[in-house]
Amino acid sequence: MAALSRALVWFKRDLRVHDHAPLAAAQSHQDALGLFIIEPDWLQSPEFDASHVDFALGCLRELRTDLALRGMPLLVCVGPAIEVLEKLHAEVGFTHVLSHEETGSGWSYMRDVQVAVWCRSQQVQWQEFMQTGVVRRLRSRSGWAKRWQSRMDAPLILPSARFNAAVSCDQPDLPTLASLGLSPHGKTLQAAGEKAAQQTLQSFLHLRGNNYRKAISSPLTAEAGCSRLSPHLAFGTLSMRTVHQATEAAIGSTSDRSLAYALRGFAGRLRWHCHFMQKLEDEPAIEFNNFARACDGLREDEFNPDHFAAWCAGRTGYPMVDACMRSLKATGWLNFRMRAMLVSFSSYHLWLHWREPGLFLARQFLDFEPGIHWSQMQMQSGTTGINTLRMYSPTKQAHDQDPEGLFIRRWVPELARVPLPYLAEPWKMDTSVQRMVGCLIGEDYPAPIVNEKIAG
Ligand SMILES: Cc1cc2nc3c(=O)[nH]c(=O)nc-3n(C[C@H](O)[C@H](O)[C@H](O)COP(=O)(O)OP(=O)(O)OC[C@H]3O[C@@H](n4cnc5c(N)ncnc54)[C@H](O)[C@@H]3O)c2cc1C
């Protein structure tokens, strides 16, 4: 009799059933079960926020239902990966682990190293599948774009129809934030799960995308005018290939030239996603060290904790900076230009090294994606040694991106009655005006913590 081949599909940042290579591969085994591990190393990592696991749990709820319809149980276990795998191996004796490759933070890289050792010691075969344009053990960047294109143009993998369930295993209720010992995060998050991801993609490609290139810079218009797919790409409720192919199909089928032009701009950014992840894959140290080691020592010893605290709290005295920070903390999302402005302000005006602000922002971003995040943190801080230095003036950004002051008034209610001409620079109001509008600078709203004209 042939030996039993039992597949464990280890879900990581790929919480979907469509275009999922490990799931498809599981069909060639006699039976299969799914696993997601909530690892203490994740929960305790400095870039983690309760909103991240909250979103993941929302995705897992839907995934469990979708897999159950196909006959596959999905276990969601809390504990160190090796301990969870060991226990499960003793209980159900899987022969294969199937997962996607992950280009993650230092802690997940170390975990993967340990899992590989453990699998070898147990004669369990661990097979990893690519899911983005990132190439493992890349020797040279030449030909990378071509390879990206052919991976993205490859046919989508259809969702698997039916599995034989590996033994009947108990599927306890999903953990909750409280059972994980986490406090509520208080953010209003985007809807989680594969269906919400598909709806977001379709509404962008066919309704919202028309204005993409114009809408992308202002936080007011970007909210609806950008795709808002980033958390879905980060948690893998959509594959990059699905987004790429749906975009190309929308461009090919529309007679609206302005929509096609807008979507071309969007399509280019999908490639950037993988381009930046590739940087982390090739050079994992960029999570911790300056790209350009010549920048070592530039800011490290000048970290001002009061400035950092004011920046994190959205109380720098610069209305556009504070509005962006407060909006981000409430929603888990901010558009690209305003992310860049926040980092430019912390790096140049406040002269803070990028690592602590980067960790803080990673906790705020629902779409935290280490490869993009650390590359962008360094680019906006001027420590890559290759990119042009770019500093954003928070008052100019207020005038350009929020000319009527709607965004600032929404997120900084202390300034609600400040007349528009003063809204970007409220410290310029006479004291009599400050009294009249009920906003005393230094009391009701902070005076600028640094002078924009001198700092930076
Ligand atoms: C300091 C800083 C940190 C950032 N950290 C992250 C992060 O942790 N995770 C993340 O997904 N994005 C990050 N970005 C990039 C960008 O701001 C977000 O991808 C974008 O705002 C997400 O919204 P969207 O999906 O509506 O974007 P859209 O404009 O609709 O873009 C579609 C997709 O393209 C990709 N993309 C867009 N812009 C970029 C870019 N500049 N670089 C790489 N990929 C891009 C993303 O996957 C995005 O979801 C960061 C930018 C800065 C300046």
- Nearest atom within ligand 1 for CA of residue 373: 5
From the CB of 228, is ligand 1 less than 6 Å away?
yes
Ramachandran sector of residue 421 (left: φ over 0; alpha: ψ -120 to 50; beta: rest): alpha
Given a cut of 50, the residues of the chain with pLDDT beneath it are none
198 domain-assigned: yes
Give dist(CA 405, CA 239) in Å, integer.
37
Same domain? For 107 and 45 the reply is yes
Contacts of 70 (CB under 8 A, 6+ apart): 17, 159, 160, 161, 162, 163
- Between the CA of 382 and the centroid of ligand 1 the distance, in Å, is 18
What single-letter DSSP state applies at residue 49? -
263: domain CATH number?
A: 1.25.40.80
The answer as to whether 173 is a domain residue is no
Both 266 and 205 in one domain: the answer is yes
Q: Is 324 in the pocket of ligand 1 (CB under 6 A)?
A: no
Residue 350 lies in a domain: yes
3-state SS, residue 409: helix
CA of 230 to the centre of ligand 1 (A): 6
Are the C-beta atoms of 6 and 85 separated by less than 8 Å?
A: no
**pLDDT tens-place string over residues 46-81:** 999 999 999 999 999 999 999 999 999 999 999 999
Q: Is the CB of 353 under 6 A from ligand 1?
A: no
State the pLDDT at residue 2: 59
Answer yes or no: is the C-beta of 364 below 6 A from any ligand 1 atom. no
Question: Which CATH number belongs to the domain containing residue 96 in this structure?
Answer: 3.40.50.620
Cβ–ligand 1 contact at 208 (below 6 Å): no
> How many Å apart are CA 456 and CA 346, to the nearest integer?
9
Q: State which ligand 1 atom lies nearest to the alpha carbon of 234.
A: 11
> Which residue's alpha carbon is at the smallest distance from atom 49 of ligand 1?
230
Asked if 276 and 325 sit in the same domain, the reply is: no
Q: Is 276 within the bounds of a domain?
A: yes
User: For residue 185, is it within any domain?
Assistant: no
* Residue nearest to ligand 1 atom 16, measured at CA: 336
When divided into structural domains, the chain yields a total of: 3
Question: CA-CA distance, 149 to 296, in Å (whole number)?
Answer: 36
Output the DSSP codes for 117-170. HHHHHTT-EEEEE--SS--TT---STTHHHHHHHHHHSPPPPPP----BSS---
Q: Which pLDDT value is given to residue 301? A: 84
The answer to whether residues 26 and 126 belong to one domain is yes
Rg of the chain on CA atoms, in Å: 24
Distance CA 88, CA 94 (A): 8
Ligand 1 neighbour 376 (Cβ under 6 A)? yes
The Cα–Cα gap between 181 and 166 comes to: 31
238, 256, 282 - which closes a domain: 282
Give the span between the Cα atoms of 413 and 404, in whole angstroms. Answer: 15
* 43 and 64 share one domain: yes
Tell the residue nearest (CA) to atom 39 of ligand 1.
269
Contact by Cβ (8 Å): 201, 208: no
Looking at the structure, do residues 268 and 297 belong to the same domain, yes or no? no
Q: Is 235 in the pocket of ligand 1 (CB under 6 A)?
A: no
Which protein residue has the closest C-alpha to ligand 1 atom 19? 230
- Atom of ligand 1 lying closest to residue 269 CA: 34
Is-above-0.85 flag for pTM? Answer: yes
Q: Looking at ligand 1, which residue's alpha carbon is closest to its atom 38?
A: 269
86 and 20 in a common domain: yes
Residues 276-320: tens digit of each pLDDT? 999 999 999 999 999 889 888 889 888 999 999 999 999 999 999
Query: Which residue has a Cα nearest atom 29 of ligand 1?
Result: 226
Residue written as tokens 């879900």? 11
Cβ–ligand 1 contact at 269 (below 6 Å): yes
- 98: helix, coil or strand? strand
Same domain, 219 and 322: no
Strand duo 96-100 + 74-78: pairing: unpaired
Q: Does 264 lie in the same domain as 393?
A: no
Ligand 1 centroid vs 334 CA: distance in angstroms?
Answer: 9
For residue 388, the model assigns a pLDDT of 80
Residue 341: CB within 6 Å of ligand 1? no
Same domain (yes/no): 326, 411: yes
Residue 172 lies inside a defined structural domain of this protein: no
Residue 62 lies inside a defined structural domain of this protein: yes
274 within ligand 1 shell (Cβ under 6 A): no
Q: Is residue 288 part of a domain?
A: no
Q: Tokens for 213, please give them.
A: 């290139």
Centre of ligand 1 from the C-alpha of residue 449, in Å: 29
* 287 touches ligand 1 (CB under 6 Å): no
Q: Tell whether ligand 1 has an atom less than 6 A from the beta carbon of residue 373.
A: yes
Contact 415 CB / ligand 1 (< 6 Å): no
Q: Is the C-beta atom of 203 inside 6 A of ligand 1? A: no
- Domain of 329 in residue numbering reads as 293-437
Answer yes or no: do 357 and 260 share one domain: no
Verify whether ligand 1 is closer than 6 Å to residue 13 (CB atom). Answer: no
| Beta bridge partners of residue 74, listed in sequence order | 34
Distance 269 CA to ligand 1 centre (A): 8
Q: For residues 44 and 127, state if they share a domain.
A: yes
CA pseudo-torsion sign 353, 358, 359, 364 = positive
Measuring CA to CA, which residue among 405, 190, 447, 416 is closest to residue 318?
Answer: 447
Residue 107's nearest CA partner among 76, 127, 80 is 80
- Whether 148 lines ligand 1, by a CB cut-off of 6 Å, is no
User: In angstroms, what is the span from residue 101 Cα to ligand 1's centroid?
Assistant: 20
Q: How far is the CA of 165 from the centre of ligand 1 (A)?
A: 38
